Amino acid sequence: MGTWNAGAPGFREIGPEVVQAAARCASLGSAQLRTLDAVRDTEGRPVQYVFDFTEGSKDQRDLLGGKGANLAEMTSLGLPVPPGFTISTEACRTYLATGREPDGLADEVERHLAGLEAQMGKRLGDATDPLLVSVRSGAKFSMPGMMDTVLNVGLTDISVSGLAAAAGDDRFAWDSYRRLIQMFGKTVLSVDGERFDHALETRKKDRGAESDVDLTVDDLRDLVAEFKDIVRDESGTEFPQDPRTQLDLAVRAVFDSWNTERARVYRRQERIPDDLGTAVNIVAMVFGNLGPDSGTGVAFTRDPATGEQGVYGDYLPNAQGEDVVAGIRNTLPLAELEQLDKTSYDQLLDIMETLEKHYRDLCDIEFTIERGKLWMLQTRVGKRTAAAAFRIAGQLVDEGLIDEDEALSRVTGAQLAQLMFPQFDPAASRTPIARGMAASPGAAVGKAAFDSATAVEWAQRGDDVILVRRETNPDDLRGMVASRGVLTSRGGKTSHAAVVARGMGRTCVVGVEALRVDPRAREFTTPDGVRVAEGDVISIDGGTGEVFLGEVPVVPSAVVDALYNGGTATSSASASASASGEQGDTARREVVDAVLRLMRHADDRRRMEVRANADTGEDARRARELGAAGIGLCRTEHMFLGSRRKIVERVILARTPEQRDAGLDELRPLQRADFTEILEAMDGYPVTIRLLDPPLHEFLPDLTDLSVKVAVAEATGSPDQDAAHLLAEVQRLHEQNPMLGMRGVRLGLVVPGLFQLQVRAIAEAAASLLARGLDPRPQIMVPLVAAVQELEAIRDMAEATVAEVAAETGTDLRFPIGTMIELPRAAMTAHAIAEAAEFFSFGTNDLTQTTWGFSRDDVEATFFPAYLERGVFGVSPFESIDADGVGRLVSIAAWEGKETREDLELGVCGEHGGDPDSIHFFESIKLDYVSCSPFRVPVARLEAGRAALVTEGSDSR
């Protein structure tokens, strides 16, 4: 958007939608734009829906989804990828919009399937040597476990015998068939998955088998027959014996899975748009369940929990891919693959190095070994914990793979906020009861809940909860979101629980084999007899994998300690590190160093200032220590609570000018002391002081209580005249909707002397500090202005009062006077209000309420959940700025205010000032600063730097 220019065309001429549209276009890379051009005709209609892996690249995630784009990229790198093709997200969007597959899709799939059959030398579902395919989802953004996959498509009663003969392994063929019927029944035909699980567990119990690999071929044949009966009973239809029907229904099921409840919940949690759709990847099957020389696994090029370099991941011999992520069998550490198959292990390490250097980031890799042959099934930039994100970013800079700008773009304010949470106190006594795998760091304490519904219910009533499961599945997402942490007895670092918890920033410990979790009895037990029932408090350490009985105290984060101490981690950081030994010490120090390094770079790169919302000297000092460059909002109404409230009440209800002046005189020294402390704490930095802005009823006696008091006095024959007079005054001033009544500038105009008192106290405080050689910089903000005439009246009074104090004290006092833009009319008349204002501070909390026409306190617990569920909101407009509505009002006011007054200072002081997404919006419209709570100042500093990089990149394109 460039710099402000008072002579440039007005905002009303170009419109904010043009700016926003330009930004959206700029965010698309040239490769994506070329791709979109390539698949549409001159009238914008798609002409290609299906793409072979040889046709795509990693830059086409919008079209091919993340999985399809990366399969294409690995294919182009010459890595061993099973051949296949991708049905685009455009096809899914058309299907979701119309309820049917787009015209021509079936023919395209047929052509690409024929090409795949020719390449493999096999036909789908052939009776002698069948081609089998997997049908996998793959959206633009990773949504682990949230959408559906079907493996072994193409197996039928006829082709299973051909597969057995071709593989020379009857057991493998029937195991693959029972897996297909189970996945197809649950995913495509909506059969209750518990019925399949129960049948499998019963069979294992009857045979005394520890796991499914111990079942015989006869057991598996019987299970196939039983599974087909379950399909018929539950769905009213037979399991399809036509391979192409299986394929078509599986593709449609993947499309439909985009809108499952768990997928919608996950997208809301991760703020992923609902209109992207998913691609579908059709891939020739390779088999990890062909015996001990086969297997499947997941590998990370660095530890996604800590960022440590090394060999990380899980491997499961004689298994298919879903066995690893489902956590139904505990896996082997990836390093043990070296003893099982050194050739494949060495090849895998070479490929991991290739991919990490190519993607210049941590890669999450899925692979299968089929009788000694390594196949790559997927790669993606891996999800990681907050600690790992900062540590890896610093490592990659040191390795020369990325620069500091790129490193800054790879961490987020949300991740920094996670690192600022407390950790367990290493000096506190604790009762360890078990230990598992550290899957997602953090300290979590809460009541044990053994199902997601209970976790959600308890969290809604305000309890902290730890969700305890044998293993989680996608249907547990609501419980995971509601819980402080997740604990499972099965699974590894790449299980569903671990991957999802890391992505959400939840503490997670998995694979605690010592725990015997009994969801029916709602308890778990340990081998030494410890019993934890539902509702008992436990603590879990996601950094060490430890589980403790009861509540373990926490200590401040080492990152916060370092931020407070100007870049040096002190006692608590060292203590926390030493508790976990030398390795923990190194890891923590690397994380702290990386945070401080990227914070310094963010400060160098950001354009916007970051100020704090602070009402006391203590808050001001804390904010300054955390890097705030001033106070963007000092709420003076908070200074009149407690014992001072009665004084304000006397001022408002005064019967004579003398009574009012007496109350004001009593308040002035108190206010002067308040402002002196805050201005001194922020010496040299601006302090924006909002004049009194409470709803009037907050400073009046309760109407009901007063009415009862007067009625009782009259009923007992001893009327209280003073109380009766007070009741009459309160009734006169009573408002049906105090939030939209006599508050803000209206109170200052109607109650003579109230604002004048505050301005005089500010001026006297500044004069006293100037006399001491300090540099106070107060700014006077007039709240709730809707018309310029209101501001002009208060401004005239304020300037006259400041001049009086300047003359009395012999000091040169000159304070900027501005207003808070928090009403739609103020935003729409900003060009006029700017004539009397030297700054605008956008009060986005009230602006959101008045724009939407609802009260935050009244609606968040009533219809907001339904609005989020129905997609009316992607996220609460009080949490992240409503860019299309409230944001547009801010844009209009900013542009038109600048047209009137080129040197107009623009800031935001609502809670959105600490929200990462909102900060990016405010940077895009060139506000001068954001202001937020003191604790969120580091988050805002980081995001302001990241936002500047994004805006610079858009401008350069």
Token pair, residue 724, equals 């009766």
* pLDDT confidence of residue 11: 34
Q: How confident is the model at residue 511, as a pLDDT?
A: 85
843 is in an annotated binding site: yes
Question: By the 8 A CB rule, do 446 and 507 touch?
Answer: no
The radius of gyration computed from the CA coordinates of the chain, to the nearest angstrom, equals: 32
Alpha-carbon torsion (572, 573, 575, 580), positive or negative = positive
| Domain covering 47-284: architecture | 2-Layer Sandwich (3.30)
DSSP summary character for residue 507: E
Tokens of 67: 């999985």
Residue linked to tokens 């969290």: 459
| pLDDT score for 14 | 35
Q: Find residue 554's DSSP bridge partners.
A: 424
What local confidence, expressed as pLDDT, does residue 588 receive? 82
Round to whole Å and give the CA distance between 179 and 173. 10
pTM flag (> 0.85): no
Cβ neighbours of 718 (radius 10 Å): 8
The neighbour count for residue 4, using CB atoms within 10 Å, is: 17
With b for 16 or more beta-carbon neighbours within 10 A and e for fewer, the 108-133 pattern comes to bbeebbeebbeebebbbbbeeebbbb
One-letter amino acid identity for 550? G
Q: Residue 359's pLDDT is what?
A: 96
Q: Which CATH architecture has domain 295-384?
A: 2-Layer Sandwich (3.30)
pLDDT of 730? 62
The DSSP secondary-structure symbol of 238 reads P
658 known ligand binder: no
Helix (H) or strand (E) holding 485: strand 485-488
The answer on whether 260 is annotated among ligand-binding residues is: no
Nearest to 267 by CA among 678, 869, 899: 869
CATH no., domain 606-695+735-956? 3.20.20.60
Ligand-binding site membership of 822 (annotated): yes
Q: Residues with catalytic annotation?
A: 496, 909
How do the domains of the chain map onto residue ranges?
A: 47-284, 295-384, 421-555, 606-695+735-956
844 annotated among ligand-binding-site residues: yes
The 3-state secondary structure of 118-165, one letter per residue: HHHCCCECCCCCCECEEEEEEECCCCCCCCCEEEEECCCCCHHHHHHH
Query: Which regions of the chain are under pLDDT 50?
Result: 1-38, 568-581
Angle, alpha carbons 700-703-705 (nearest 5°): 110
The reply, when asked if residue 624 is annotated as ligand binding, is no
312 and 493 Cβ atoms separated by less than 8 Å:
yes
pLDDT at 577: 39
Listing from the earlier edge strand, what are the strands of the sheet with 516-518? Answer: 516-518, 523-525, 531-533
pLDDT for the residue numbered 705: 67
Residue 178's SS3 state is helix
Residue 188 near residue 230, CB atoms below 8 Å? no
The domain 421-555 is placed in CATH, from the list 3.40.50.1820, 1.20.120.640, 2.40.70.10, 3.50.30.10, at 3.50.30.10
Report which DSSP code applies to 83: -
Nearest CA to 154 among 121, 188, 186, 177? 177
Report the chain's terminal Cα–Cα distance, integer Å: 12
Rounded to the nearest 10 degrees, the angle between the axes of helix 916-924 and helix 16-27 is 110
Q: What share of the chain is helix, strand, coil (3-state, %, to 5)?
A: 50, 15, 30
